[in-house]
Amino acid sequence: MDCLAIAATILAVLSLLQQQLYGHGELVGRGLTVRRSKVCDIFHGSWVFDKSYPLYQTPNCPFIEKQFDCSRNGRPDKGYLKFRWQPSSCNLPPFDGEDLLRRIRGKSIMFVGDSLSLNQWQSLTCMLHTAVPHAEYKSITVQGLSTFTFPEYDAKVMFSRNAFLVDLVSTPNGRVMKLDSIEGGKLWKGTDYLIFNTWHWWLHTGRKQPWDFIEEGNRTQRDMDRLVAYEKGLNTWAKWVDSNVNPSKTRVFFQGVSPDHMNSSDWGEPSAKNCEGQKQPIRGGSYPGRRHPAELVVEKVIRSMSKPVYLLNITTLSQLRKDGHPSVFGHGGHRDMDCSHWCLAGVPDTWNQLLYAALIELSN
C-alpha cells in the first residue's frame, strides 16, 4: 500500500471515529429523514450538573439585554447556571468559539425570527466574545437588522427581527399578515448560514396581537385557527427556501420550537402554576407533557421540502428546563411573568453548542 493510500485510509477511519463520537441531529428533505449517524442523536439526552458551568459570565458581555440577565436583575439562586446538556449515547464537541470564528471567516450567520432568536443571537455573540476577549468587535442595529462583527476574522453574526417570517404590512384598514407573501426574504439572500425561528407570536390575542387581519390569496379574514395559520405561513417560508437557496452556498437551519412553562400541569406539578420559583430541570430525558403541536407542524413542513434544512430539534431538551426562564427577574421586579424567554447564561447557550456541533458535521 503506497503512502497516499495509507493516508486516505487513516482519514477515513478518523472521519468514522468523529461521526461515532459526535453523531449529530437530522437533515430533513422531501419525504425523508437522513440521520448523519446511527450511533447518536445529540437532541436526546438529559441535563446534568456541571460545576464548571456557566460557559461565560454576563458582566463580560455588556451588550446583553437587561431582560435576559437574570442574575443582574436579582435572581438569587445560581443552580440554573450549572446544568450541561448530555446526549445519551455520545458527547457534544466542546464549544470552541475561536474555532467557530475561523470556520466562518469571511462568512455571515443570520438568525431570523422573534425575540427567541434574539435570545440565541445574544448568547452566541457572548460565547464568541468571551472566547476571543481581546478581539475587536462592532455591534450596530439598523431598521431591525442587528450586526455583530469580528473584523479580525471578517465574520458577521446577525439578527433580523421577523416574528412571522411571512409579511406583516400596514394598510389604511389595519395591519395585515399575509400568509402567502414573503417579501422580507430579500434581506436573507447572500447569507452563508440562516437560522430561522417562528412561533412565539402566533398565539397572541387582544392588545398583544400585532395584526388586525389575516390575508391568504384574495381572502381576508379577522381570524382563523392559529395552528392552521402557522402551517400556512411555514409552507410559504418553505417555498421561499426551495426557490431561493443554493445549498452549496447557503446552509439553512430551523431553530425548532422554544417552549414556554406557563402551565405547570404540563410537567405534573399543578401547584407550582408556572415557572416562578423553579430551580431544577426535569430529571431524565422525557417530558411528562405531550409533544408541542407547533413542533409537529415544523417537522411536517420540513419533510415536504426539496432543499435540505437542518432541524435544531431543541424543543424537548428545552421543555425539561422549567427552571431556565427569567420569571419575575426579566425586568427586575414583579411587573410581569416571563416564562417564555431564557436567562443568559443559560439554555440558549446549549442551542448554540448544538449549532456548533452541526456546523462541524456539515463541514466534514
Known catalytic residues are 115, 338, 341
Report CA torsion sign: 325, 330, 335, 338.
negative
Long-range Cβ contact pairs of 347-351 (< 8 A, separation 24 or more): 347/318, 347/321, 348/119, 348/120, 348/122, 348/123, 349/54, 349/55, 349/56, 349/123, 349/127, 350/84, 350/85, 350/314, 350/317, 351/120, 351/123, 351/255, 351/312, 351/314, 351/318
- Distance, C-alpha 340 to centroid of its chain: 13
Give, as one character, the DSSP assignment of residue 284: S
Rounded to 5°, the CA angle 99-114-75 comes to: 80
152: left (phi over 0), alpha (psi -120 to 50) or beta: alpha
Give the span between the Cα atoms of 239 and 237, in whole angstroms. 5
CA 166/CA 159 separation, integer angstroms: 16
Strands 138-142 and 145-150: antiparallel
**Amino acid (1-letter code) at residue 165:** L
Q: What cell numbers appear for 296 in the block?
A: 409537529
The Cα-based distances of 352 to 69, 124, 237 in angstroms read: 17, 6, 23
CA distance 325 to 275: 7
User: Looking at this protein, which amino acid is placed at residue 138?
Assistant: K
